[in-house]
Amino acid sequence: MSIIKTETDTALDETLTVQNSGAMPAVADINEQPISEKALEAGAGAEAPSNGVTSNGPGAGDEAENADLASYTLSKRQQIGSLVSMCMLTFIASLDATIMASIYVPIASDFGALGQAVWILTTYMLSSTIVQAIIGKISDILGRVETTQASIIMFILGSILCGASQSMNMLIASRTIQGVGGGGILGLTVVLLGDIFSERERGKYMGALSSVFGLAVVIGPVMGGGIVEHASWRIVFWINIPICVIAMALIFFTLKLPKTKGTLREKVQRVDFIGCALFTIGMVPILLGLSWGGQQYEWTSAQVLACLICGFVVLLVFGYVEYHYAVEPIVPVRLFRSLNVLAALVAALTLGANLFGTSNIIPIWELAIKHASTMSGGLHLLPIALGIVFASPLCGIYMARSGRFLLPIRFGAILTVTGLSLLLRYKVGTGFGERIGYLFLSGLGFGFISQPAMVVCQASVAGKHMASVTTSFSFLRTLGGILATSIMNSILNSRIKTGITGLVNEFPSHASDIASTLADQRNIYSDIIPQDIQSRIIHLWADSMHSAFYVFVAIGGIAFVSCFAIRHVELGKERKKTIE
């Protein structure tokens, strides 16, 4: 890793200063050569032979391999095939992030290792979250298609090993491998859209990915519960394989992008290994601390505090090194000085927090308060999914036709904070229609924020930084989900444990039955618990979750501020140069 700061970096600093002081043009790049979509369709983007070498001459192949992405275009059939493959990959990788939520305990029980159950979730979360942040820059260097295919292969390998696991340790290790592949997939699918389509066109196609992502997140627990109730849990992993194989084939035959410059050795030498190592060393303890806090250990315990403090110190070192010394930083820290980039990334953090947070707590409400089954409790997340599926395409079409994004993102912010605030109206007697309406309103808000926030991130930087800010967006969206889930579970567990302890002391003859409702909410409705105690327990759960809902209101407020802080940037009709 070189310690020389380039002239381009200095120019970028100056440009970002201009961005933050006035209008918000995209970060300039002296090497960018955009080519209009119409010109591309007419064949005007084809790179002309140079140095006397004809298109059929001996040097034509190498020159084509090193050509810029902007000089290529895909036919409609290739575009559709690529988009279908990206939707398939986004769905399956997102699904595996949430499908375990309802089945990791039965899986651990099969292996007789309930004490290790949480690691089925934690290892996938750790590896996928970290990889999402760094995969963009790696793909800039090693090649977009090559890195995507490698991620798919890693995901398939992890799925095979998970399905074939004969011990808990093997399953945990396999989930780590699967998470590396899943993180790469989630980070790169949106990056590929940025390579294929202009900013103006990108919104309507990104709407498809946003819809698929939201749908996978909310139906994951439902699918998991249904599979475990009627078949073997191993099917959860086997279903990944044919979907990934089909997606790989579609990418191979349809996604014809040029190779990146340089030999394999030269590319490897460009990778910021020191940055990758520092980021990983910093994020692992932070993510562990967030997953342990308030659940396995108290927030004030030595284990949690040591993880969080050490992790943040290492990340400070990482940020300093990336800002001052890295020639090709894996995370372009100086880009965060752009108000638009910073605001959009904060919006991504809140989006993940709201989406994953509601997906975690709403099924618990239905299970504990409304006596729903594990599967039907998850079905109550469908209004959120429907809201996202409805709003995302509308938002994309509006952006493609108008070239503007402020209206949908601000409208989405208003809907989000309104829908989440209405969750405070959840009571034991709140009706089905009322609950559905609140969740649908929240889903609409998520849908209207999602792709405009992503597009504004991409439009506010030079093409060569597109992949890095895109994967940073994906990383922060996932991190937001981890933060919200951890905070809400901590609040919920604290309130519930205190209340249950009081009831156990008050009704010692039913102590074991009352205590069992902590681990399994279905036990609340056991015939051996008297109805008056059942009612007390139900109201305890309702009041405790009501406290957790205030977290949503706070996050919704942050989303509102960040969305209204974003300034207009013209969405170009031309494709940028996205790989050097």
Distance CA 519, CA 364 (A): 12
Residue labelled with tokens 């986004």: 90
CA atoms within 13 A on the CB side of 529: 23
Confidence of residue 570 (pLDDT cuts 50, 70, 90): confident
> Residue 519: which residues within 8 A CB-CB, separation 6 or more?
none
User: Measured between alpha carbons, how far apart are the two ends of the chain, in Å?
Assistant: 18
Give the separation between CA 545 and CA 550, rounded to whole angstroms.
9
What region, left, alpha or beta, does residue 262 occupy, with left being phi > 0 and alpha being psi -120 to 50 degrees? left
Give residue 440's pLDDT: 94
The whole-number pLDDT of residue 244 equals: 95
Over 80: is that where the pLDDT of 53 sits?
Answer: no
Tens-place pLDDT, residues 339-397: 999 999 999 999 999 988 888 888 888 888 888 776 777 778 889 988 988 998 888 88
Fold of 75-271+328-494+549-575: Growth Hormone; Chain: A; (1.20.1250)
**Distance between CA atoms of residues 163 and 146, nearest Å:** 26
Residue 90 has pLDDT above 70, yes or no: yes
Cα angle 504-108-521, degrees, rounded to a multiple of 5: 30
* Residue type present at position 304: V
Question: Where are the domains positioned within the chain?
Answer: 75-271+328-494+549-575, 272-327
pLDDT at 87: 92
Give the whole-angstrom CA distance, residue 541 versus residue 522: 12
Share of the chain above pLDDT 70, in %: 87
Please tell me the predicted confidence (pLDDT) of residue 374. Answer: 66
CA distance 193 to 206: 7
The per-residue pLDDT for range 173-183, each reduced to its tens digit, is 999 999 999 99
Between 256 and 166, residue with greater pLDDT: 166
Report how far residue 381's alpha carbon sits from residue 225's, in angstroms, rounded to the nearest whole number.
14
Average pLDDT over residues 549-556: 91
What are the Cα distances from residue 499, in Å, to 159, 334, 536? 41, 48, 10
User: What number is the average pLDDT over the span 241-253?
Assistant: 94
**Tokens 């309802």 found at:** 102
Count Cβ neighbours within 10 Å for each residue of 504-543 and write b for 16 or more, e otherwise. eeebeebeebbebbeeebbbbeeeebeeebbebbbebbbe
- Residue 233's CB is within 10 A of a number of other CB atoms, namely 18
List phi, psi (to 5°) of 293: -55, 125
Report the C-alpha dihedral over residues 280, 285, 291, 292, rounded to 10 degrees.
Answer: 160
CB 373 within 8 A of CB 520: no
CB within 8 A of 49, min separation 6: which ones? 55, 57, 60, 63
Amino acid at residue number 186: L
Report which secondary-structure segment, H or E, holds 389: helix 382-402
pLDDT tens string 313-339: 999 999 898 888 888 888 777 888 889
Q: How far, in Å, CA of 351 to CA of 353, rounded?
A: 5
